[in-house]
């Protein structure tokens, strides 16, 4: 699991105007809570925070007043354009404690049903999981090459690391291949009887990237 380093500084509890002044300085107001301790109020580097969020990281190493501490990014509030973070909730965690987070779900491959004119529809883009802090996966990959027309991939069919517990229902649909609009049941049966071997995409550069330790 990748952990980003974020520069920060302490701040006094304050209202809207004080927070706006922090944002004009390139800082993001944040609160640290958890483990029965009093809340701490800090301001994070906007640049560092954006980098961490762009890489979909769940844990940051916060540097404040010469010290460093790891925190779980629990919630992020964005501006009205949903682009710039304006407030962050950080939770105190221990490496031995299990946490609940959402991780991105990536579909891999070209379903064979799309070769017959079908359309792949992604239903779930994030997965709710529970695991130890250091076991949080950067993401879960789901292969969909085998899906034919009107066939779906379910959560129960996903391959996840053994130390990760999936919290979604196993009956939740991850992705489905819809047939071409107007296709009758008889036409669908005739098409699926003579399906060709699927063409797997995302093989070249993407797999090379995985071999070099990519996500």
Give CATH 2.170.120.20 domain extents, the chain: 100-202
| Integer CA distances (angstroms), 117 to 54, 130, 136, in order | 34, 38, 37
Phi, psi of 123, rounded to the nearest 5 degrees: -95, -40
For the domain spanning 4-93, the CATH number is: 2.40.240.10
Give the chain's mean pLDDT. 85
- What is the average pLDDT across 192-197? 41
Give CATH 2.40.240.10 domain extents, the chain: 4-93
- What is the average pLDDT across 198-213? 40
pLDDT at 200 over 50: no
Token output for 172 = 């939740």
Quote the CA–CA distance of 215 and 85 in Å, as a whole number: 24
Which H or E element spans position 31? strand 27-33
Half-sphere exposure of residue 34: CA atoms within 13 angstroms, side-chain side: 15
Local confidence band at 209 (pLDDT 50, 70, 90 cut-offs): very low
| Integer CA distances (angstroms), 168 to 67, 124, 165, in order | 37, 10, 9
**pLDDT (0 to 100) of residue 150:** 93
Local confidence band at 10 (pLDDT 50, 70, 90 cut-offs): very high
CATH 3.40.630.30 fits 100-202, yes or no: no
- What is the average pLDDT across 166-172? 97
- What is the average pLDDT across 7-17? 84
pLDDT in tens, 138-149: 899 999 999 999
**pLDDT (0 to 100) of residue 156:** 97
**pLDDT (0 to 100) of residue 132:** 93
Contact call for residues 195 and 112 (beta carbons, < 8 A): yes
Quote the CA–CA distance of 70 and 4 in Å, as a whole number: 9
**pLDDT (0 to 100) of residue 184:** 54
Local confidence band at 215 (pLDDT 50, 70, 90 cut-offs): very low
The model's pTM is 0.69
**pLDDT (0 to 100) of residue 205:** 40
Token output for 81 = 């354009």
- What is the average pLDDT across 19-41? 93
pLDDT in tens, 109-143: 999 999 999 999 999 999 999 999 889 998 999 99
Local confidence band at 189 (pLDDT 50, 70, 90 cut-offs): low
Rama region for 62: left / alpha / beta (φ>0; ψ in -120 to 50; rest)? beta
Quote the CA–CA distance of 76 and 90 in Å, as a whole number: 9
pLDDT in tens, 43-87: 999 999 999 999 888 999 999 988 999 999 999 999 988 889 999
């Amino acid at each position: 699991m990748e952990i980003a380093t974020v520069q920060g500084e302490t701040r006094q509890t304050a209202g809207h105007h004080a927070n706006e002044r922090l944002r004009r300085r390139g800082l993001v107001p944040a609160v640290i809570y958890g483990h029965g301790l009093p809340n701490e109020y800090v301001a994070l580097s906007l640049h560092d925070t954006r980098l961490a969020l762009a890489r979909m990281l769940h844990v940051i190493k916060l540097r404040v007043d010469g010290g460093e501490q790891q925190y779980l990014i629990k919630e992020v509030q964005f501006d009205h354009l949903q682009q710039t973070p304006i407030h962050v909730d950080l939770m105190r965690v221990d490496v031995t404690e299990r946490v609940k987070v959402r991780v991105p779900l990536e579909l891999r491959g070209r379903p064979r049903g799309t070769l017959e004119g079908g359309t792949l529809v992604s239903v779930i883009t994030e997965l709710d999981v529970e695991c130890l802090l250091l076991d949080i996966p950067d993401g879960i990959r789901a292969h969909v090459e085998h899906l034919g027309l009107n066939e779906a991939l379910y959560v129960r069919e996903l391959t996840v690391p053994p130390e990760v517990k999936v919290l979604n229902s196993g009956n939740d649909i991850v992705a489905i291949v819809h047939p071409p609009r107007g296709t009758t049941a008889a036409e669908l049966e005739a098409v699926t009887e003579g399906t060709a071997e699927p063409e797997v995409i995302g093989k070249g550069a993407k797999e090379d990237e995985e071999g070099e330790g990519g996500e």
